[in-house]
Structure 1
Protein backbone atom coordinates (compact mmCIF):
# COMPACT_ATOMS: atom_id res chain seq x y z
CA UNK A 1 0.00 0.00 0.00
CA UNK A 2 1.36 3.42 -1.01
CA UNK A 3 1.67 5.97 1.77
CA UNK A 4 2.72 9.59 1.36
CA UNK A 5 4.55 12.14 3.44
CA UNK A 6 8.14 10.89 3.61
CA UNK A 7 9.84 12.58 6.54
CA UNK A 8 11.57 15.82 5.53
CA UNK A 9 14.81 14.62 7.10
CA UNK A 10 14.99 11.75 4.60
CA UNK A 11 15.73 14.14 1.72
CA UNK A 12 19.11 15.52 0.74
CA UNK A 13 18.68 19.27 1.05
CA UNK A 14 20.51 22.40 0.09
CA UNK A 15 19.31 25.98 -0.07
CA UNK A 16 16.53 25.13 -2.51
CA UNK A 17 12.97 25.30 -1.10
CA UNK A 18 11.26 22.00 -0.30
CA UNK A 19 7.58 21.19 0.08
CA UNK A 20 7.06 19.93 3.64
CA UNK A 21 5.84 16.39 4.37
CA UNK A 22 2.27 17.26 5.37
CA UNK A 23 1.68 19.42 2.29
CA UNK A 24 3.44 16.88 0.05
CA UNK A 25 1.16 14.11 1.34
CA UNK A 26 -1.96 16.13 0.51
CA UNK A 27 -0.62 17.06 -2.95
CA UNK A 28 -0.06 13.38 -3.65
CA UNK A 29 -3.53 12.41 -2.44
CA UNK A 30 -5.10 15.08 -4.66
CA UNK A 31 -2.91 14.13 -7.66
CA UNK A 32 -4.26 10.56 -7.57
CA UNK A 33 -1.20 9.17 -9.37
CA UNK A 34 -1.60 5.65 -10.71
CA UNK A 35 1.29 3.18 -11.27
CA UNK A 36 1.52 3.75 -15.05
CA UNK A 37 0.99 7.54 -15.05
CA UNK A 38 3.27 10.10 -16.64
CA UNK A 39 3.74 13.10 -14.35
CA UNK A 40 5.36 16.51 -14.74
CA UNK A 41 6.60 18.26 -11.59
CA UNK A 42 7.10 21.91 -12.56
CA UNK A 43 9.24 23.97 -10.20
CA UNK A 44 10.49 20.73 -8.65
CA UNK A 45 12.91 22.31 -6.13
CA UNK A 46 14.72 19.53 -4.25
CA UNK A 47 12.54 16.88 -5.90
CA UNK A 48 10.58 15.86 -2.81
CA UNK A 49 7.30 15.77 -4.75
CA UNK A 50 9.04 14.13 -7.72
CA UNK A 51 10.29 11.36 -5.40
CA UNK A 52 6.81 10.68 -4.00
CA UNK A 53 5.31 10.87 -7.51
CA UNK A 54 7.90 8.40 -8.86
CA UNK A 55 7.11 5.97 -6.06
CA UNK A 56 3.39 6.19 -6.92
CA UNK A 57 4.02 5.98 -10.70
CA UNK A 58 6.26 2.96 -10.25
CA UNK A 59 5.73 1.81 -13.86
CA UNK A 60 5.41 5.34 -15.27
CA UNK A 61 7.66 8.37 -15.59
CA UNK A 62 8.15 11.64 -13.74
CA UNK A 63 9.58 14.69 -15.51
CA UNK A 64 11.13 17.05 -12.94
CA UNK A 65 11.45 20.57 -14.34
CA UNK A 66 13.64 22.96 -12.34
CA UNK A 67 15.55 26.06 -13.44
CA UNK A 68 18.05 26.12 -10.54
CA UNK A 69 21.17 23.98 -11.20
CA UNK A 70 21.44 23.19 -7.47
CA UNK A 71 17.85 21.94 -7.56
CA UNK A 72 18.62 19.66 -10.51
CA UNK A 73 21.60 18.24 -8.61
CA UNK A 74 19.45 17.65 -5.50
CA UNK A 75 16.69 15.98 -7.52
CA UNK A 76 19.22 13.61 -9.06
CA UNK A 77 20.86 12.88 -5.69
CA UNK A 78 17.48 12.23 -4.06
CA UNK A 79 16.40 9.99 -6.95
CA UNK A 80 19.59 7.99 -6.51
CA UNK A 81 19.14 7.83 -2.72
CA UNK A 82 15.61 6.45 -3.12
CA UNK A 83 16.69 4.10 -5.95
CA UNK A 84 14.34 5.63 -8.51
CA UNK A 85 15.11 5.26 -12.21
CA UNK A 86 11.84 6.75 -13.50
CA UNK A 87 12.67 10.41 -12.76
CA UNK A 88 13.88 12.49 -15.69
CA UNK A 89 15.35 15.89 -14.78
CA UNK A 90 14.95 18.82 -17.13
CA UNK A 91 16.87 21.99 -16.31
CA UNK A 92 15.03 25.02 -17.58
CA UNK A 93 12.04 27.27 -17.16
CA UNK A 94 8.53 26.17 -18.05
CA UNK A 95 6.81 26.29 -20.45
CA UNK A 96 9.88 26.04 -22.74
CA UNK A 97 11.26 23.19 -20.62
CA UNK A 98 8.00 21.30 -21.30
CA UNK A 99 8.79 21.06 -25.03
CA UNK A 100 9.21 17.45 -26.04
CA UNK A 101 7.23 16.00 -23.12
CA UNK A 102 4.93 13.10 -24.00
CA UNK A 103 1.21 13.27 -23.20
CA UNK A 104 0.81 13.46 -19.41
CA UNK A 105 -1.70 12.20 -16.86
CA UNK A 106 -0.79 14.59 -14.04
CA UNK A 107 0.86 18.01 -13.86
CA UNK A 108 2.00 19.34 -10.49
CA UNK A 109 2.96 23.01 -10.37
CA UNK A 110 4.95 24.22 -7.39
CA UNK A 111 6.47 27.24 -9.11
CA UNK A 112 5.79 29.12 -12.32
CA UNK A 113 8.49 31.83 -12.43
CA UNK A 114 5.80 34.26 -13.56
CA UNK A 115 4.79 32.07 -16.52
CA UNK A 116 1.51 30.66 -15.19
CA UNK A 117 -0.58 31.46 -18.28
CA UNK A 118 1.83 29.83 -20.74
CA UNK A 119 2.44 26.83 -18.42
CA UNK A 120 -1.30 26.20 -18.14
CA UNK A 121 -1.68 26.52 -21.92
CA UNK A 122 1.00 23.85 -22.41
CA UNK A 123 -0.39 21.61 -19.64
CA UNK A 124 -3.84 21.85 -21.22
CA UNK A 125 -2.34 20.56 -24.50
CA UNK A 126 -0.51 17.68 -22.78
CA UNK A 127 -3.38 16.44 -20.58
CA UNK A 128 -6.22 14.26 -21.91
CA UNK A 129 -9.80 14.44 -20.68
CA UNK A 130 -9.65 13.31 -17.03
CA UNK A 131 -6.04 14.54 -16.70
CA UNK A 132 -5.26 16.21 -13.39
CA UNK A 133 -3.37 19.25 -12.19
CA UNK A 134 -2.37 20.14 -8.66
CA UNK A 135 -1.00 23.61 -7.97
CA UNK A 136 0.43 24.96 -4.73
CA UNK A 137 0.62 28.64 -3.84
CA UNK A 138 1.99 30.51 -0.85
CA UNK A 139 1.28 34.10 -1.91
CA UNK A 140 -2.02 35.93 -2.22
CA UNK A 141 -0.99 37.06 -5.69
CA UNK A 142 -0.52 33.51 -6.92
CA UNK A 143 -3.84 32.33 -5.50
CA UNK A 144 -5.66 35.11 -7.34
CA UNK A 145 -3.72 34.37 -10.51
CA UNK A 146 -4.65 30.67 -10.40
CA UNK A 147 -8.36 31.43 -10.03
CA UNK A 148 -8.26 33.97 -12.89
CA UNK A 149 -6.21 31.69 -15.14
CA UNK A 150 -8.67 28.79 -14.92
CA UNK A 151 -11.64 30.92 -16.00
CA UNK A 152 -12.73 29.70 -19.41
CA UNK A 153 -10.41 26.67 -19.43
CA UNK A 154 -11.90 23.15 -19.80
CA UNK A 155 -11.15 22.17 -16.19
CA UNK A 156 -13.06 21.84 -12.96
CA UNK A 157 -11.22 23.84 -10.28
CA UNK A 158 -11.27 23.31 -6.54
CA UNK A 159 -9.05 24.78 -3.87
CA UNK A 160 -8.38 24.90 -0.16
CA UNK A 161 -5.83 26.23 2.29
CA UNK A 162 -3.70 24.14 4.67
CA UNK A 163 -2.09 25.50 7.80
CA UNK A 164 0.35 23.16 9.54
CA UNK A 165 1.55 23.65 13.10
CA UNK A 166 4.24 21.26 14.31
CA UNK A 167 4.55 20.30 17.95
CA UNK A 168 7.90 20.93 19.61
CA UNK A 169 9.11 20.56 23.15
CA UNK A 170 10.30 23.62 25.07
CA UNK A 171 11.45 22.70 28.55
CA UNK A 172 8.55 21.01 30.29
CA UNK A 173 6.03 22.44 27.82
CA UNK A 174 5.02 21.79 24.26
CA UNK A 175 4.47 24.53 21.70
CA UNK A 176 3.16 24.57 18.17
CA UNK A 177 5.43 26.10 15.52
CA UNK A 178 3.41 27.31 12.55
CA UNK A 179 4.54 26.74 8.98
CA UNK A 180 3.44 29.17 6.26
CA UNK A 181 -0.08 28.46 5.04
CA UNK A 182 -0.27 26.83 1.61
CA UNK A 183 -3.12 26.97 -0.87
CA UNK A 184 -3.69 23.81 -2.88
CA UNK A 185 -5.69 23.89 -6.11
CA UNK A 186 -6.84 20.82 -7.98
CA UNK A 187 -8.15 20.78 -11.53
CA UNK A 188 -9.44 17.97 -13.73
CA UNK A 189 -9.76 18.35 -17.49
CA UNK A 190 -13.34 17.94 -18.73
Structure 2
Protein backbone atom coordinates (compact mmCIF):
# COMPACT_ATOMS: atom_id res chain seq x y z
CA UNK A 1 0.00 0.00 0.00
CA UNK A 2 1.35 3.44 -0.90
CA UNK A 3 1.38 6.42 1.47
CA UNK A 4 -1.83 8.42 1.40
CA UNK A 5 -4.38 5.80 2.40
CA UNK A 6 -7.85 7.14 1.55
CA UNK A 7 -9.79 8.33 4.60
CA UNK A 8 -12.71 6.02 3.89
CA UNK A 9 -10.49 2.94 4.34
CA UNK A 10 -10.13 3.67 8.06
CA UNK A 11 -12.60 2.59 10.72
CA UNK A 12 -13.91 5.89 12.06
CA UNK A 13 -16.07 7.17 14.88
CA UNK A 14 -16.51 10.45 16.71
CA UNK A 15 -12.78 10.88 17.34
CA UNK A 16 -10.75 13.35 15.24
CA UNK A 17 -8.73 11.93 12.36
CA UNK A 18 -5.87 13.54 10.47
CA UNK A 19 -7.21 13.73 6.91
CA UNK A 20 -5.42 12.02 4.02
CA UNK A 21 -3.76 15.08 2.45
CA UNK A 22 -2.60 16.52 5.77
CA UNK A 23 -1.51 13.07 6.97
CA UNK A 24 0.72 12.47 3.96
CA UNK A 25 2.33 15.93 4.24
CA UNK A 26 2.93 15.46 7.97
CA UNK A 27 4.44 12.01 7.45
CA UNK A 28 6.65 13.41 4.71
CA UNK A 29 7.92 16.07 7.15
CA UNK A 30 8.74 13.32 9.69
CA UNK A 31 11.30 11.81 7.25
CA UNK A 32 10.62 8.32 8.57
CA UNK A 33 13.20 5.58 8.29
CA UNK A 34 12.52 1.86 8.06
CA UNK A 35 13.54 1.40 11.73
CA UNK A 36 12.20 4.63 13.27
CA UNK A 37 10.81 4.69 16.79
CA UNK A 38 7.78 7.00 16.58
CA UNK A 39 5.43 8.58 19.08
CA UNK A 40 1.98 9.52 17.73
CA UNK A 41 0.57 11.77 20.47
CA UNK A 42 -3.18 12.34 20.34
CA UNK A 43 -3.53 9.46 17.90
CA UNK A 44 -7.33 9.67 17.49
CA UNK A 45 -8.30 6.90 15.06
CA UNK A 46 -4.68 5.85 14.53
CA UNK A 47 -4.49 6.95 10.89
CA UNK A 48 -1.02 8.50 11.30
CA UNK A 49 0.12 5.50 13.39
CA UNK A 50 -0.98 3.04 10.69
CA UNK A 51 0.71 4.93 7.85
CA UNK A 52 3.89 5.42 9.90
CA UNK A 53 3.96 1.71 10.86
CA UNK A 54 3.64 0.69 7.21
CA UNK A 55 6.64 2.87 6.30
CA UNK A 56 8.77 2.03 9.35
CA UNK A 57 8.31 -1.74 9.07
CA UNK A 58 11.30 -2.55 11.31
CA UNK A 59 10.50 0.23 13.75
CA UNK A 60 7.76 0.71 16.30
CA UNK A 61 4.97 3.27 16.65
CA UNK A 62 3.68 4.21 20.10
CA UNK A 63 0.10 5.35 19.52
CA UNK A 64 -0.84 7.54 22.50
CA UNK A 65 -4.53 8.28 23.04
CA UNK A 66 -6.58 9.30 26.08
CA UNK A 67 -10.11 8.70 24.75
CA UNK A 68 -11.61 5.23 25.17
CA UNK A 69 -13.31 5.41 21.75
CA UNK A 70 -10.03 6.41 20.14
CA UNK A 71 -8.21 3.45 21.70
CA UNK A 72 -10.92 1.12 20.38
CA UNK A 73 -10.65 2.63 16.87
CA UNK A 74 -6.85 2.43 16.86
CA UNK A 75 -7.04 -1.27 17.73
CA UNK A 76 -9.64 -1.85 14.99
CA UNK A 77 -7.44 -0.07 12.43
CA UNK A 78 -4.38 -2.07 13.53
CA UNK A 79 -6.34 -5.24 12.75
CA UNK A 80 -7.79 -3.89 9.52
CA UNK A 81 -4.38 -2.91 8.12
CA UNK A 82 -2.60 -5.91 9.65
CA UNK A 83 0.18 -3.89 11.27
CA UNK A 84 1.99 -5.50 14.17
CA UNK A 85 4.47 -2.76 15.04
CA UNK A 86 2.05 -0.40 16.82
CA UNK A 87 1.88 -0.27 20.61
CA UNK A 88 -1.29 1.40 21.89
CA UNK A 89 -0.67 3.54 24.97
CA UNK A 90 -3.81 4.58 26.83
CA UNK A 91 -3.45 7.79 28.77
CA UNK A 92 -2.73 11.48 28.77
CA UNK A 93 0.47 13.08 27.52
CA UNK A 94 2.90 14.00 28.91
CA UNK A 95 2.40 11.64 31.87
CA UNK A 96 2.39 8.39 29.84
CA UNK A 97 5.42 9.45 27.78
CA UNK A 98 7.96 9.26 30.58
CA UNK A 99 8.24 5.45 30.56
CA UNK A 100 8.29 5.04 26.77
CA UNK A 101 11.49 4.38 24.82
CA UNK A 102 13.10 7.52 23.38
CA UNK A 103 11.78 8.23 19.90
CA UNK A 104 13.48 9.27 16.66
CA UNK A 105 10.30 10.95 15.46
CA UNK A 106 7.32 12.52 17.22
CA UNK A 107 3.98 13.45 15.69
CA UNK A 108 1.68 15.58 17.83
CA UNK A 109 -1.86 15.66 16.52
CA UNK A 110 -3.32 16.82 19.80
CA UNK A 111 -1.93 17.79 23.19
CA UNK A 112 -4.89 19.69 24.64
CA UNK A 113 -4.26 21.80 27.70
CA UNK A 114 -0.89 20.15 28.36
CA UNK A 115 0.76 21.37 25.16
CA UNK A 116 3.84 22.99 26.77
CA UNK A 117 4.39 20.09 29.17
CA UNK A 118 4.11 17.68 26.22
CA UNK A 119 6.61 19.74 24.20
CA UNK A 120 9.02 19.79 27.15
CA UNK A 121 8.85 16.01 27.61
CA UNK A 122 9.19 15.49 23.86
CA UNK A 123 12.38 17.57 23.74
CA UNK A 124 13.78 15.73 26.76
CA UNK A 125 13.14 12.27 25.31
CA UNK A 126 13.75 12.88 21.57
CA UNK A 127 16.91 11.24 20.25
CA UNK A 128 19.67 13.30 18.68
CA UNK A 129 18.80 14.24 15.07
CA UNK A 130 15.13 13.61 15.87
CA UNK A 131 12.21 15.40 14.27
CA UNK A 132 8.96 16.63 15.78
CA UNK A 133 5.90 17.45 13.67
CA UNK A 134 2.92 19.24 15.22
CA UNK A 135 -0.44 19.71 13.50
CA UNK A 136 -2.58 22.61 14.64
CA UNK A 137 -5.86 24.07 13.47
CA UNK A 138 -5.58 27.33 15.42
CA UNK A 139 -3.21 30.26 15.10
CA UNK A 140 -2.55 29.90 18.82
CA UNK A 141 -1.21 26.36 18.45
CA UNK A 142 0.90 27.28 15.42
CA UNK A 143 2.38 30.33 17.13
CA UNK A 144 2.98 28.55 20.44
CA UNK A 145 4.65 25.53 18.85
CA UNK A 146 6.79 27.59 16.47
CA UNK A 147 7.94 29.90 19.25
CA UNK A 148 8.56 27.12 21.79
CA UNK A 149 10.78 25.08 19.49
CA UNK A 150 12.65 28.14 18.24
CA UNK A 151 13.36 29.26 21.82
CA UNK A 152 14.76 25.78 22.48
CA UNK A 153 17.25 26.08 19.60
CA UNK A 154 15.40 23.93 17.09
CA UNK A 155 15.26 24.73 13.39
CA UNK A 156 11.54 25.36 12.80
CA UNK A 157 9.40 25.47 9.69
CA UNK A 158 5.69 26.24 9.73
CA UNK A 159 3.46 25.73 6.73
CA UNK A 160 -0.24 26.46 6.39
CA UNK A 161 -2.11 23.98 4.22
CA UNK A 162 -5.42 24.87 2.61
CA UNK A 163 -7.18 21.95 0.94
CA UNK A 164 -10.33 22.07 -1.17
CA UNK A 165 -12.06 18.90 -2.33
CA UNK A 166 -14.39 18.56 -5.32
CA UNK A 167 -18.10 17.91 -4.79
CA UNK A 168 -20.78 17.31 -7.38
CA UNK A 169 -23.42 20.04 -7.47
CA UNK A 170 -26.00 18.86 -9.97
CA UNK A 171 -24.23 18.60 -13.32
CA UNK A 172 -21.38 20.86 -12.16
CA UNK A 173 -18.42 20.35 -9.86
CA UNK A 174 -17.57 22.78 -7.08
CA UNK A 175 -14.71 22.95 -4.62
CA UNK A 176 -15.44 22.70 -0.89
CA UNK A 177 -12.76 24.13 1.41
CA UNK A 178 -11.58 22.25 4.47
CA UNK A 179 -10.18 23.98 7.55
CA UNK A 180 -6.62 25.24 7.12
CA UNK A 181 -4.05 23.21 9.05
CA UNK A 182 -0.67 24.38 10.31
CA UNK A 183 2.15 21.84 10.11
CA UNK A 184 5.06 22.80 12.34
CA UNK A 185 8.31 20.84 11.88
CA UNK A 186 11.11 21.11 14.43
CA UNK A 187 14.63 19.67 14.05
CA UNK A 188 17.52 20.01 16.46
CA UNK A 189 20.15 22.40 15.04
CA UNK A 190 23.71 21.13 14.84
Partner of 2:32: 33
Partner of 1:136: 135
Mapped partners of 1:152, 1:16: distance in 2: 32
Question: What is the correspondence of 1:22-61 to structure 2 with a 5 Å cutoff?
Answer: 22-61=21-60
TM-score, length-normalised on structure 1?
Answer: 0.96
Q: 2:146, 2:157 within 8 Å by CA — same for their partners in 1?
A: no
Return 5+ residue gaps in structure 2 as ranges: none
Partner of 1:166: 165
Partner of 2:107: 108
Pairwise CA RMSD: 1.1
Mapped partners of 2:114, 2:180: distance in 1: 22
Mapped partners of 2:153, 2:104: distance in 1: 15
Mapped partners of 1:154, 1:37: distance in 2: 23
Return 5+ residue gaps in structure 1 as ranges: none
Q: Deviations over 1:4-26 (max 9, x none)?
A: 21000000001001111000010
TM-score, length-normalised on structure 2?
Answer: 0.96
Q: CA deviation at 1:103?
A: 1.5
Aligned residues: 189
Q: Deviations over 1:146-179 (max 9, x none)?
A: 1232232131110110000001111110000111
Q: Deviations over 1:34-58 (max 9, x none)?
A: 1100000000000000000111110
Mapped partners of 1:4, 1:187: distance in 2: 22
Question: What is the correspondence of 1:145-160 to structure 2 with a 5 Å cutoff?
Answer: 145-160=144-159
SS of residue in 1 equivalent to 2:173: strand
Tell whether 2:99 aligns with 1:117: no
Mapped partners of 2:159, 2:146: distance in 1: 12
Q: 1:93, 1:113 within 8 Å by CA — same for their partners in 2?
A: no
Q: Deviations over 1:114-164 (max 9, x none)?
A: 112111111112212210000000012211211232232131110110000
